Amino acid sequence: MADIVEQYRQGALNAKAAGFDGVEVHAANGYLLDQFLKSGSNHRSDEFGGSVENRMRLPLMVIEAVIDVWGKGNVGVRVSPTGSFNAMYDEDPVETFGEFAKRLNDLGISYIEVVEDSFQGNHANGRPESVIDAIQAGFHGTYIANGAYTAEEARKRIGNDRCDLVTFGRPFIANPDLPERFRQHAELNKWDDSTFYGGDERGYTDYPTLKELEPSV
Ligand SMILES: Cc1cc2nc3c(=O)[nH]c(=O)nc-3n(C[C@H](O)[C@H](O)[C@H](O)COP(=O)(O)O)c2cc1C
């Protein structure tokens, strides 16, 4: 475990050497720290598994090491409490992520980014409002929401204090000028998911901007 923490510390140092402004510790979507947090994947019987306290242990050690390098104000953490990507599952995300949020609050990190939906699109049950409530009750820094947002829903939820900020993934891939399109309430290019993970040279750099779509006079 100590070696793993050191790898994250080295990553944080590397990010600093590369001139980044801060770092986000990835504890979402089935990556290593998420595997420790969630009861569905963490079947350990030592002090790193079992109770929520134990499942949070490695993620918190990592985050503390990263804070050592960066200072708490330049560190954020990404979680996906109800995300099923990479076969993830937690029996009680309200408890697990409510507790984790409190601990992140005590550490004083800058923000938490919550993937509120599987990015594979299963939005059928809506956003996990009780988990969001538990996280916000515990964590008082900036709450960033993510997952299948439209500009309209983002505006609404920011207005209703359900989040402070919203991040966008796929709409950004397909719309190089996404903020401008949101400002103008313009129509968006649709993404082509067959180009996300391979194929040929198409995708990512060849979606048109609004300007390029304007009919030439
Ligand atoms: C092509 C692609 C690759 C992604 N890779 C990662 C990844 O490596 N790690 C991660 O946490 N999320 C990854 N995501 C998920 C996004 O960060 C984001 O959470 C997701 O797309 C939901 O936001 P959206 O509905 O605005 O796209 C990826 C998404 C896409 C489309």
Examine residue 125 and state whether it is found in any structural domain, yes or no. Answer: no
Nearest protein Cα to ligand 1, atom 13:
29
Q: Is the domain of 10 the same as that of 51?
A: yes
Residue in 149, 170, 202, 204 to alter for ligand 1 test, most ligand atoms within 8 A of Cβ:
170
Q: Is the domain of 215 the same as that of 150?
A: no
Q: Is the domain of 147 the same as that of 92?
A: yes
* Closest listed residue to residue 127, CA positions, set 186, 136, 172: 136
CA of 120 to the centre of ligand 1 (A): 9
Q: Is the domain of 110 the same as that of 174?
A: no
Which is the closest atom of ligand 1 to the Cα of 29? Answer: 11
| pLDDT band at residue 124 under the 50/70/90 scheme | low
What are the catalytic residues? Answer: 31
CA of 127 to the centre of ligand 1 (A): 17
Q: Which domain holds residue 147?
A: 2-120+130-167
Can you read off the two tokens belonging to residue 132? 């969001």
| pLDDT band at residue 161 under the 50/70/90 scheme | very high
Q: Is the domain of 105 the same as that of 16?
A: yes
Q: Is the domain of 36 the same as that of 136?
A: yes
Examine residue 191 and state whether it is found in any structural domain, yes or no. Answer: yes
Q: Does the pLDDT of residue 106 top 80, yes or no?
A: yes
Q: Is the domain of 144 the same as that of 161?
A: yes
How many structural domains is the chain composed of? Answer: 2
What does the pLDDT average to over 44-67?
A: 98
Q: Is the domain of 55 the same as that of 100?
A: yes
pTM of the model: 0.95
Residue 45, exposed/middle/buried by CB under 10 A (0-12, 13-18, 19+)? Answer: exposed
